[in-house]
Amino acid sequence: MKLVIATPSPFARKARIALLEKGVAFEVEVDNPWNPGARAPAHNPLGKIPVLLDDGGEAIFDSRVIVEYAEARWPAPALLPSAPLARVAARRVEAVADGVCDAVVLIVLEHARPAALQSGDWIARQRAKVSAGVSALEAQLGHRRWFVEGAFGLADVAVGCMLGYLDLRLPAFAWRPGAPRLAAWFAQLEERPSFAATRPSAQPIDPVR
């Protein structure tokens, strides 16, 4: 089984961590979907990563679908609660975390454009989403150890991947002073083996014209 990833991607990291937490053996193939010659479009018509290629060669994408697949095929340890409303709660946290990551991606791509073509208003709009998302997650975490049902799960994976991506892509965005509980929680989470083994790193992106 092979997982096609980009090394900075929080979505690819989410899929990697899910498989690692379940003890699933898989090979990693690094791709860059933004550059010419990317291999992702051969597996995903949208050209996005991550893509999980199962033992039969079937392509499974995106990160949310990969997690659902992993939950169905390797149920233990569970990353999603079995109770329907708790499952919705976990997915809601994931939606905020993924939305923040989407906003960061848009900021990165805008900064990759020639300076004369960049939109300050667009960047400010995306940064506002990032700030609002971090604030909401800080409030939701409160003094809990984990986001949902007192147990480590997908919600925690998604938020951890989001914060790691923020540190990588927007290092000047000082989110920790305004989210001290989230900062302390993240510092401990990053020591977890699945997180320590998947820390994101940058890949070059061809400028958008």
**Tens digits of per-residue pLDDT, 76-124?**
999 999 999 999 999 999 999 999 999 999 999 899 899 999 999 999 9
Across the beta sheet with 27-30, the strand order is: 27-30, 2-5, 51-53, 59-60
* Per-residue pLDDT band at 209 (split at 50, 70, 90): very low
Tens digit of each residue's pLDDT (9 = 90 or more) over 183-193: 999 999 999 99
**Domain 84-195, classified CATH 1.20.1050.10, yes or no:** yes
- Provide the mean pLDDT of the chain: 94
* Domain edges within the chain: 2-73, 84-195
Backbone angles phi, psi at 105, to 5 degrees: -55, -45
For residues 144-170, average pLDDT: 97
Q: What pTM does this model have?
A: 0.94
Task: Report CA-CA distances (Å) from 40 to 3, 17, 31, 51, 104.
Answer: 11, 20, 7, 7, 21
Q: What kind of architecture, by CATH, is found in domain 2-73?
A: 3-Layer(aba) Sandwich (3.40)
Neighbour count for residue 94 (Cβ, 10 Å): 26
Residues 6+ apart with CB under 8 A from 188: none
Please report, as a single letter, which amino acid is at residue 51: V
Tens digit of each residue's pLDDT (9 = 90 or more) over 121-137: 999 999 999 999 999 99
Locate the DSSP E strands across the chain: 2-5, 27-30, 51-53, 59-60
- The whole-angstrom separation of Cα 79 and Cα 157 is 9
